[in-house]
Amino acid sequence: MADDLPPPYTALTRHPMMPRTSHDEAARFNFLTHFNRYLSGTIGAGNKLAYDKRVLPAFQAEHGRDPEHRYEVRDAMNRDPWHRMWSALKRNSMEMRQHTGRQAVLRQLDELDAMAAQFNEHSGMLELDPAVEQPPYQTAVDIHCQPGGYHSEERAGDVTVGANYDVGLFATTGGALGGLNDGGGQAVVEWIRKERPDWRPRRILDIGCTVGHNAVPIAQAFPDAEVIAIDTAAASLRYGAARAAGLGVRNIRFVQASGEDLSRWADGHFDWVQTTMFLHELSAQSMPKILAEANRVLAPGGLILHIEQPQYTDEMPLFEQFMRDWDAFNNNEPFWSAMHGQDLKQVMAEAGFPREAQFVAGVRAVVDPAIFPPAPDGGEEDYGRAAIWNAYGAWKPLEKAAAA
Amino acid sequence: MSEQLDWVALSGRRAKGKRPEFFDEPALDRLYSVVFALAAEVSALRERQDTVERLLDARGTLRREDIEAYEPDRAAGAERGLATRAYIARIMRGFQQEVEAMAADDPPIMDVVEQLSRG
């Protein structure tokens, strides 16, 4: 019966930059890990029951029709007492995760900042550019309720937000991302090794890398490649570069830059452009710009790959779309809903990736099965949080680039 | 480094962005935050007690740094995980049984009373 128990927090790999948790901080994360699984698993089914048994019938009685959009489902469900309680539980769980992480990080910030500064000074893997502005889609709200978002500082040059992100991902995802929270990046590596076993990319760009937990496994898998990991947020990059250095990775550089302006790199510079759980953090204006820039810097024959939760389609029931939208309205993910509602293939096509060159593949977190149980799926899926993703990608055509 | 940060005060900083009001009565929103923070603390206390017992079992004595350094092995981790799961099941019973009740659609108890009272 205990096969699907999440591992204890102490099973996480303590890389040098990982904030040290006290006994009780780890225990709080253990509670939250179990609690999150309980909310999505054991009592998550209450939302569908409430919808089927009373919310949908009441809507039909009032309007004489079924809901036609996930927002109509949301308006109706937000009046339902069960969904309100469940949402309050889930929101509190997120806030407690942030509070626990920040207590751990801030009480040892002097040590963390000093260690990061030392790693970054010696590795040469961090390149900051204070001229890079924080885009409005990163500053409008603090994304996923992380105080300070990815970019803010408690004091000049600190690593608080990056360290807090790393220290608490385990609890947010119910322990499903593996010992280094890198199950997403590992999933990408596993996919590419099956898809093109002999492919040897030389230059790889990861856009929106935050702390690099998904870019580092790619650098480790392709040690002869040069990986550039960019983000607009210096506070995350400082931690990410030091984290990578602490893990002994040398072929990655963390560069402060916006995906909207990749002008420092020539056309066709990269063999592979990667984003992981990034597109939903953007805006309707910036996403096409970033995809067009990604297309420009990608070499003919190169790979673009975006890891995301599945897009909403007409085939996806409105109730599921509504549940997947929960984070957009309750966990500060303001572009989540609109992004997932877009026809990503069309957006990619308009950015220059022909439809016939595109593909969609399913990937799931790759973790050490000796320590980490399989991520819950199927009936227990944690809408929008499950470590099961779609990879939206394209191999850039050779002939089209030659003609251009 | 610069002057010492007030990590207790700073750690509770809110995330920018308007917080949803889940209940009509704001006090209920506040109460949820308190109750579940306490639930996490009780869970942490239980885990700490388990650590103390395991260390005493193994060594017959105790140092505080041993508690901080303790990492359960696979078997102990699973036992503690199961205990946490059972603890959450106890404090969340009301929610879990409401889900069961939604699925069951029991008639009002008065219907049953009347039915069984008929001669």
pLDDT tens-digit readout, A319-378: 999 999 999 999 999 999 999 999 999 999 999 999 999 999 988 888 777 667 655 554
Pairwise CA distance, residues B18 & A154, whole Å: 21
pLDDT for the residue numbered B1: 46
What strand order describes the sheet that includes A298-308?
A126-127, A252-256, A226-231, A203-207, A270-276, A298-308, A388-395, A358-364
User: Could you give the count of Cα atoms lying within 13 Å of A165 in the half-sphere of its Cβ?
Assistant: 27
**Res. A174 pLDDT band, cuts 50 70 90:** confident
Our CA-based measurement puts residue A88 at a distance from the nearest CA of chain B, in whole angstroms, of 6
Give yes or no for a contact between A77 and A47, defined as CB atoms under 8 angstroms apart: yes
Which candidate, A230, A237, A234, A240, places its Cα nearest to that of A182? Answer: A240
Q: Quick one: how far is CA A53 from the chain centroid? A: 34
Residues 6+ apart with CB under 8 A from B116: none
What letter represents residue A25's amino acid?
E
Which pLDDT score, from 0 to 100, does residue B119 have? 78
The token pair that represents A55 in the structure block: 């919310």
User: Tens of pLDDT along B12-49?
Assistant: 999 999 999 999 999 999 999 999 999 999 999 999 99
Interface contact B12-A102, CB threshold 8 A: yes
pLDDT in tens, A284-323: 999 999 999 999 999 999 999 999 999 999 999 999 999 9
> Do B44 and A27 lie within an 8 Å CB cutoff?
yes
Residues 66-95 of B with CB under 8 A from A: 67-68, 70-72, 77-78, 80-82, 84-85, 88-89, 92, 95
CA-based nearest residue in chain A for residue B102: A49
pTM: 0.94
Interface of A with B in 34-93 (CB under 8 A): 34-35, 38, 42-43, 45-46, 49-50, 53, 82, 84-89, 91-93
Shortest Cα distance, chain B CAs vs residue A218, angstroms: 29
Q: Chain A 225-264, CB below 8 Å of chain B: which residues? A: none
B13/A contact by beta carbon, under 8 A: yes
A250, A164, A170: which is closest to A210 by C-alpha?
A164
Q: What is the pLDDT of residue A380?
A: 47
- Smallest CA-to-CA distance from A179 within A385, A367, A369, A386 is with A367
Query: What does residue A226 show for φ and ψ, rounded to 5 degrees?
Result: -105, 120
DSSP string, A318-339: HHHHHHHTHHHHHTT-TTHHHH
CA distance B57 to chain A (A): 18
* Contact flag A31-B71 (C-beta cutoff 8 Å): no
- A283-309 core/surface letters (b: 16 or more CB in 10 A; e: else): beebbbbbbebbbbbbbbebbbbbbbb
Report residue A69 as tokens. Answer: 């959009």
- DSSP per position, A297-310: HEEEEEEEEEEESP
Q: Which residue of A has its CA nearest to B64?
A: A23
Q: What percentage of chain A has pLDDT greater than the value 90?
A: 88
What's the pLDDT score for residue A367?
78
Q: CA B109: distance to chain centroid?
A: 32
| pLDDT over 80 at B76, yes or no | yes
